[in-house]
Structure 1
Amino acid sequence: MSTPAPGGHGSLCAPYTLQFPFERTVGPKLGTFFAGLKEKRLFGVRARRGVLCPPLEFDPDTGAETGELVELPPTGTVTVWTWVRSRPGDPVAHDFAWALVEIDGTAGSLLHAVDVEADPTRMTRGMRVRARWRGERVGDLRDIECFEVEQ
């Protein structure tokens, strides 16, 4: 059963689970991406339609091997988002948005949390955001704690 979202804007709420229940080995491009996260660096890869972040080993449009790795800034633009209530284990301790963030210089988007201090009225399409890095990083996507409004 769905219930109205906080603020009474007529939105619906529903339970969700975001998971990737599999393990895989990473090639040289994803390996560099994950190693970069540990060092507070973002990498993408050249493909036919532009730079992709996160990088892929093969071009999703052609199936051809992707090109060279490109270092990217830790900033981007929110393309779409949805507001969620925080749960134990979520990347942010209070309510936040899951968003597609187009990292500057890329074609495509990265799914991640956006923290606007539990205020859904601050979320907008086109909003500029910056990665907020965890203090202790291990080389996985959670090394980016979330994205926050760029100051």
Structure 2
Amino acid sequence: MSADVDGGLQAPYEIEFPFERTVGPVVGTFLAGLREKRLFGARTERGTVVCPPPEFDPVTGKELSELVELEPVGAVESWTWVRRRAGDPVDVDFAWALIAVDGAEGTFFHALDVGGDPARIRRGLRVRARWAEERRGVLSDLRCFEPEDNDE
């Protein structure tokens, strides 16, 4: 605790709102797919595919139920570089990026690992999913995206 300018006391605190929710058929199928190294999007009435799949079309608000499997690859649209912290999905500094998944409209916000080198990132960089070794049907099963040419 510390005294502020007015003589009052201050103490740091963290507010949490832990809760559980059933995920439903759309998000449930998406998460089950991640467990199996599969990426799904939802087809809209307009014929487009949204990934990750929402329960409702972001344009029309209509319920979505048709799921489409997508290749877990895409291109970087935008990013922000961050310093690694405990609990982050990768072990080096990385980017939070908007990934345009091939075959889907919009972007997927996820971690992008370029080995700690921000100079490797550019708009249009081709990326692929890197899967967690142990998967449980949660978003972190898709550990991050990485450049497709990472093997070179």
TM-score (norm 2): 0.82
**3-state SS of paired residue (1:94):** coil
1:81-107 C-alpha deviation (Å, 9 max, x unpaired): 000000000001110000011111000
- Report the equivalent of 1:10: none
Deviation of 1:21 after TM superposition, in Å, equals 6.3
Asked whether the 8 Å contact 1:114–1:148 carries over to 2, the reply is: yes
C-alpha distance in structure 1 between counterparts of 2:81 and 2:97, whole Å: 9
**3-state SS of paired residue (1:44):** strand
C-alpha distance in structure 2 between counterparts of 1:21 and 1:53, whole Å: 26
C-alpha distance in structure 2 between counterparts of 1:25 and 1:108, whole Å: 25
- Report the equivalent of 1:29: 26
Give 5+ residue unaligned stretches, structure 2: 1-16
C-alpha distance in structure 1 between counterparts of 2:32 and 2:136, whole Å: 8
Change (3 A) 1:21 1:82: farther
**3-state SS of paired residue (1:30):** helix
Asked whether the 8 Å contact 2:81–2:94 carries over to 1, the reply is: yes
Deviation of 1:25 after TM superposition, in Å, equals 1.7
Deviation of 1:24 after TM superposition, in Å, equals 2.5
**3-state SS of paired residue (2:22):** coil
- Report the equivalent of 2:7: none
1:150 lines up with 2:151 in the alignment: no
- Report the equivalent of 2:5: none
Within-5 A mapping of 1:1-151 = 23-47=20-44, 48=46, 50-151=48-149
Asked whether the 8 Å contact 2:94–2:113 carries over to 1, the reply is: yes
Bigger CA drift: 23-32 or 75-84?
23-32
Asked whether the 8 Å contact 1:45–1:66 carries over to 2, the reply is: yes
Asked whether the 8 Å contact 2:26–2:65 carries over to 1, the reply is: no
1:5-43 C-alpha deviation (Å, 9 max, x unpaired): xxxxxxxxxxxxxxx965432111111000000000000
Larger Rg: 2
Asked whether the 8 Å contact 1:78–1:124 carries over to 2, the reply is: yes
What fraction of aligned residue pairs are identical, expressed as a percent? Answer: 64
C-alpha distance in structure 1 between counterparts of 2:81 and 2:51, whole Å: 23
